[in-house]
Chain A
Amino acid sequence: MIKAFSKLDKHTKVAIFIAPILLILGFAAADMWEEHKASEVRFYQMIPEDGQCNILTKECILAVDNLRISIYEEDGLTTANSTFALDTMTLFVVDQNGMSETYRMGMKDSPHYWYQKTELAEQLAQSGSEKTLRFVATIDGGQYIAEFTSKTP
């Protein structure tokens, strides 16, 4: 091995010594680039998978790429169940005047489940009632946003 190396010409020897330095510099720069990219805020819009929503019957799944977030009512709590672990989950209930009430949801057992007590069950109890909802879910700097209407048939 050493014999073979000593037989190489001086330029190849120099290049063999320089290459690992460039390699390490490249890895460091790539790491910085990835870190910079990860810190950028990115927005993704989620849309109802079936084109419509009814949170009372658990028929409200919003999707983008591989992420699915199901919004439903259970035991008097509005719950969000996500296929990926979420960092935060905020729900907005919009009234007839376009004003929204903010509900910062809390984690339930795991970052896949988030819940908050709301009045949506009562507001949507009547047949034909509907409510516009929005949410912002965050995962590693990515903001997943959605606006949808839950209708009770």
Chain B
Amino acid sequence: MENQSTYWQENLRVIKICLVIWFVVSFGFGLILVEPLNAIRLGGYKLGFWFAQQGSIYTFLALIFWYGKKMNDLDKKYDVENS
């Protein structure tokens, strides 16, 4: 029971990290900090604009696989069966 609770706590921690990164790259970089980031250029594009258009999507894709890996690690750590 305690093992399940710790597994769930760690699961929530991974989800929270994902949501924070999701917020930072989409709202933080794409909207709130767009002006200061636009002062930086990435491959000819303004960085704030790039994050709003492409960067956040790439980050979301990376997050999917990072989340999958972290959860698989947790499954192994707590000996949870992967069906």
Contact = CB atoms under 8 A, between A and B. Distances in A.
A6 to B, nearest CB: 13
Interface of A: 8-12, 15-16, 19, 22-23, 26, 29-30, 33-34
Interface residues of B, number: 19
Given A29-B27, A30-B26, A30-B27, A10 B82 contact: yes
Interface of B: 22, 26-27, 30-31, 56-57, 60-61, 63-65, 67-68, 71-72, 75, 82-83
Classify the secondary structure of B's interface with A. helix
Contacts of A30: 26-27, 30-31
B60 A33 contact: no
A26 B26 contact: yes
A29 B22 CA distance: 13
